Amino acid sequence: MKLEIKNLSKCYGKKKILDNISFTFDSNKIYGIVGRNGVGKTTFFEVLNYDTPYDDGSIKLEDEELDEKVSLIPATPNVPPFLTGREFISFFLELNKDKLKNKKSIDEYFKMIDMPESDQNKIMKNYSTGMKNKIETLLGIISEKEVLLLDEPLTSLDIVVQEEMKKLLKSVKKDRIIIVTTHILDIALDLCDEIIILKDKKFEVISSKDLEKKAYRDTIIKALKDKSND
């Protein structure tokens, strides 16, 4: 499965955010889009999720429109505060029961995110950011969308929850295209199979072949600094 981006451009008024971007994402991989704050990472996701129209180019998943095949997990969790986690997931499963091909039990889903029963039955108003993030990510996994987008998914989480989420995302990448944005290089290096720099409105792909981790890190930092407008 391939997600093909061809000559994609996006402007807000006279300000160009994305300029003639072309790239092909393959399934069974986690891609990291790395860039400094304000370079357009979130805008790229909003375009893929049909939240904002693009100006030029095309986006195709196996030569079809991407709409209805993508799930976006936003940087700031947005869950109904006065439902419990279990009530919310149960409602989502019931709402989508006719669409899901590989439906699991609600207990199996909560096991995936390592959430104990006591936390499942708390109202989400009392959830930590990490717990809310887990619930939102679980919704994306349950939806069985071919493309899963996660905007800064681990930035505000503590170390333990970060490791749990990395393990979860790696376990569900089969038959999916997972794309994450981050401005934290260590997260990208640890989580992702491929890393893309978004800088000066364009993609720059950093090859990981024959590179030791330290050299890879230095190459990415250099790419972020060189000719940057930030």
78: three-class secondary structure by DSSP:
coil
List, for the chain, all residue ranges whose pLDDT scores fall below the cut of 50.
229-230
Residue ranges of the alpha helices (H) in 2-153?
Answer: 41-48, 85-95, 106-112, 117-120, 129-142
Q: How many helices (H) and strands (E) does the chain have?
A: 8, 10
Query: What pLDDT score was predicted for residue 228?
Result: 54
CA distances from residue 25 to 49, 57, 192 in whole angstroms, order as listed = 15, 16, 13
Domain of 44, in residue numbers: 2-80+145-225
d(CA 230, CA 228): 5
- Domain membership of residue 129 (yes or no) is no
DSSP run (H or E) holding 151: strand 147-151
- Domain membership of residue 48 (yes or no) is yes
> 13: domain CATH number?
3.40.50.300
For residues 46 and 52, is the Cβ–Cβ distance under 8 A? Answer: yes
pTM: 0.89
| Of 180, 198, 213, 155, the residue nearest 19 (C-alpha) | 198
The number of angstroms, rounded, from the C-alpha of 105 to the middle of its chain's C-alpha atoms is: 24
Query: What pLDDT score was predicted for residue 230?
Result: 43
Three-state SS annotation for 103-138 = CCCHHHHHHHCCCCHHHHCCEHHHCCHHHHHHHHHH
- Domain membership of residue 196 (yes or no) is yes
- Domain membership of residue 154 (yes or no) is yes
- Domain membership of residue 199 (yes or no) is yes
d(CA 201, CA 159): 32
Query: What pLDDT score was predicted for residue 227?
Result: 58
- Domain membership of residue 115 (yes or no) is no
User: What is the domain count for the chain?
Assistant: 1
CB atoms within 10 A of CB 1: 14
For residues 42 and 182, is the Cβ–Cβ distance under 8 A? Answer: no
Query: What pLDDT score was predicted for residue 223?
Result: 76
- Domain membership of residue 219 (yes or no) is yes
- Domain membership of residue 127 (yes or no) is no
Query: What pLDDT score was predicted for residue 29?
Result: 94
The radius of gyration of the chain's CA atoms, rounded to the nearest angstrom, is: 18
d(CA 7, CA 54): 11
